[in-house]
């Protein structure tokens, strides 16, 4: 799939940044509230929950930051 040199509309850029910030915020809130449950677990179930928590945290931070950066950069610039 080729990329065109058409700049991204400002509304789409703002939407991408807003969704990215929302994903990061909701991911942080989920990790914050879910963490208290994991502290009470024992054994291998705790390890599985901790790994799932960290994977979800990484996905929220990576995905949200990707959306924010993509919206901020606005896509390819026209070549001169």
Q: For the chain (length 80 residues), average pLDDT per consecutive 10?
A: 69 93 92 78 82 90 94 73
- pLDDT at position 4 is 63
C-alpha torsion angle, residues 65, 15, 29, 53 (rounded to 10): -50
**pLDDT, position 18:** 96
The total number of residues shown for the chain amounts to 80
* Phi, psi (rounded to 5 degrees) for 6: -75, 125
pLDDT of residue 66: 94
pLDDT at 62: 95
Domain definitions of the chain by residue range = 10-73
HSE value, Cβ hemisphere, 13 Å, CA-based, for 25:
7
At residue 43, the pLDDT reads 82
pLDDT of amino acid 2? 55
Round to whole Å and give the CA distance between 28 and 47: 20
Q: Can you give the pLDDT at residue 76?
A: 64
Measured CA to CA, the distance from residue 19 to residue 63 in angstroms comes to 10
Alpha-carbon span 20 to 4, nearest angstrom: 23
């Amino acid at each position: 799939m080729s990329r065109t040199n058409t700049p991204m509309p400002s509304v789409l850029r703002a939407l991408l940044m807003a969704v990215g910030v929302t994903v990061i915020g909701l991911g942080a809130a989920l990790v914050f509230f879910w963490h208290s449950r994991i502290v009470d677990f024992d054994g291998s179930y705790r390890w599985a929950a901790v790994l799932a928590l960290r994977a979800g945290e990484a996905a929220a931070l990576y995905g949200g930051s990707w959306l924010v950066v993509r919206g901020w950069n606005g896509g390819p610039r026209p070549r001169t």
